[in-house]
Amino acid sequence: MADLQSLANVVGPENLTVDDDVRHEFGRDWTRYMQPAPLAVTFPRSTEHVRGIVRWARNEKVGIVPSGGRSGLSGGAMAIKGELVVSFSKMNKILELSRGDAMVRCEAGVITENLQKFALDHGFYYPVDFAARGSSAIGGNIATNAGGIKVLRYGLTRDWVAGLTVVTGTGEVLELGKGLIKNATGYDLRHLFIGSEGTLGLVTHATMRLTRPPLPQRVLFMAVNDTESIMKIFDAFRSSVAISAFETLNEDAMQGVSAKGLKRPLETVSRWYVLVEHDTADNDRALEVFQTVMNEGLALDGVVSESSAQAAALWRLREDITEALAHHTPYKNDVSVMVSRVPSFLADADAVLKREYPTYTIVWFGHIGDGNLHISILKPKELPMEQFYKACQKVDTMLFEVVQKHGGSISAEHGVGLTKKPFLSYTRSPEEIATMRALKQVFDPDGIMNPGKMFDP
């Protein structure tokens, strides 16, 4: 039995709990097909606390599961085998703004939306954005290399990390990057920890790059009949307009958000809908492109936002999908292919899903402008959860075979965690996986850092 009293001596008894409700809350993420069973939950308040926790875990041979905003969908923050949950919710301070460097240093538990607001309040902009901005934490964003809705213009979290403080699985503290723009002194270990899902070490502090706020944005929303037309519309806008987002949703997704009270913006009902966001400085050119795609029949109907409130209402049609579908307990997948292969991938994947799930509602939506698609299969009311889950797992193999055929990824932005672990070889070669295992052995020789995630010991 692990000696929790000695851990309480490290972090303080007020920062350690075995309360059942707290363990259940912090021992899980948005994955709903497994039950949390952590040993305890600890709430460090400093890097020194985290280092002490890791050294305690090594000595006691206890696994560590990091916990941020717990908004993941791949089981990456699930503690199901008596691990110690390390929650960064009390390490939530924005520590320092360097105006000259356009960088901000913060603790790992800072909520994404709070960093965005801080940046705007000081004349800057933090551009990594997604629907879970109000709950996700910067440390978790770094651990999964979060992308979201602005990737077309601003890239992924990786592109905005200037420095990291991490505690490795050996209890060593590493200062990586140090905010330097240029540093040609060998391996940039910072990038190993970005996207590592806490399997190499724990991020305690991050220095994030900022940029200037964008111009006011305008949103166009269009009804489209097929994916070939979607991609032609994408090409038309991308070649002429500075777009910051190009999103899509199918009619089943539209029905979901409409059922929750959001008003349909178009009279036309179609198989697909597209949302385009662009700088208002490009209004004239964007309207020309809009008129062209309408005249050519690529778009069947459309609307252009005339105010920030209308733009926000159009965005809600896309961003509220996950919440609107939650009561269906959907089975979710998050995949990506090269943008040029989106239509052929969609056709192949949709054929597989419709063949295997003839009576299920299948919701497609996502960041089609960067090749990232989300698939939500809705559970029929009368079907028991266990039976539904087993049916969906069976077809995962078929779906990921399609992903592999098109040279894509089984996880675009939600990580591998527990749910995608059995399918890692569909995206990574045996040589890559062997190298990843070797890296983990270097940073986490005892296998205590988020054990069982990404790949088995």
Same domain, 298 and 379: no
Domain boundary among 34, 64, 87: 87
Give the pLDDT band (50/70/90) at residue 60. Answer: very high
Say whether both 296 and 336 belong to one domain.
no
Q: What is the pLDDT of residues 297-338, one digit of tens each?
A: 999 999 999 999 999 999 999 999 999 998 888 998 999 999
Q: pLDDT value at position 69? A: 87
Q: Are residues 245 and 316 in the same domain?
A: yes
User: Using 50, 70 and 90 to split pLDDT, how confident is the model at 213?
Assistant: very high
| For residues 243-264, average pLDDT | 96
148 and 169 housed in the same domain = yes
Would 273 be classed as within a structural domain? yes
Mean of all residue pLDDT scores within the chain: 95
- Which pLDDT score, from 0 to 100, does residue 156 have? 96
Last residue of a domain, one of 59, 87, 115: 87
Q: What is the CATH number of the domain that holds 164?
A: 3.30.465.10
The total domain count for the chain is 4
> Same structural domain for residues 118 and 178?
yes
pLDDT computed for residue 456 by the predictor? 86
Q: Classify residue 144: in a domain, yes or no.
A: yes
> Are 102 and 191 in a shared domain?
yes
Contact 296, 277 (CB under 8 A): no
Instruction: Kindly report, residue by residue over 163-184, the tens digit of the pLDDT.
Output: 999 999 999 999 999 999 999 9
DSSP annotation of 410 reads S
Q: 53 and 73 share a domain? A: yes
pLDDT digits (tens, 9 = 90+) for 421-448: 999 999 999 999 999 999 999 999 999 9
- What is the C-alpha separation between 411 and 333, in angstroms, rounded? 8
Residue 147 lies in a domain: yes
- Do the beta carbons of residue 43 and residue 15 sit within 8 Å? yes
Band (pLDDT 50/70/90 cuts) for residue 131 is confident
**Residue 440 within any structural domain of the chain:** no
Does 37 map to a domain? yes
The pLDDT value recorded for residue 389 is: 87
CATH number, domain of 40, equals 3.30.43.10
* 311 and 402 both lie in a single domain: no
What is the predicted pLDDT for the residue at 248? 96
Q: Are residues 309 and 396 in the same domain?
A: no
Three-state DSSP at 332 gives strand
Domain CATH for 348: 3.30.70.2740
Instruction: Give residue 232's domain range.
Output: 217-322
Is residue 433, in this structure, part of any structural domain at all?
no
Which pLDDT does position 311 carry in this prediction? 96
Residue 33 reports pLDDT greater than 80: no
DSSP for 105-121, written as a single string: EEETT-BHHHHHHHHHH
- Say if 454 falls within a structural domain: no
Q: For residue 110, what pLDDT band results from cuts at 50, 70 and 90?
A: very high
Q: Are residues 312 and 336 in the same domain?
A: no
Radius of gyration of the chain (CA): 22
| pLDDT for the residue numbered 394 | 85
Domain boundary among 286, 305, 322: 322
Asked, for residue 439, whether it belongs to a domain, the answer is no
Q: Is the same domain home to 105 and 201?
A: yes
42 and 129 inside one domain: no
Average pLDDT over every residue of 185-204:
97
C-alpha–C-alpha distance, residues 188 and 412, integer Å: 23
pLDDT reading at 386 higher than 80: yes
Per-residue pLDDT, 8: 97
Q: What percent of the chain has pLDDT over 70?
A: 100
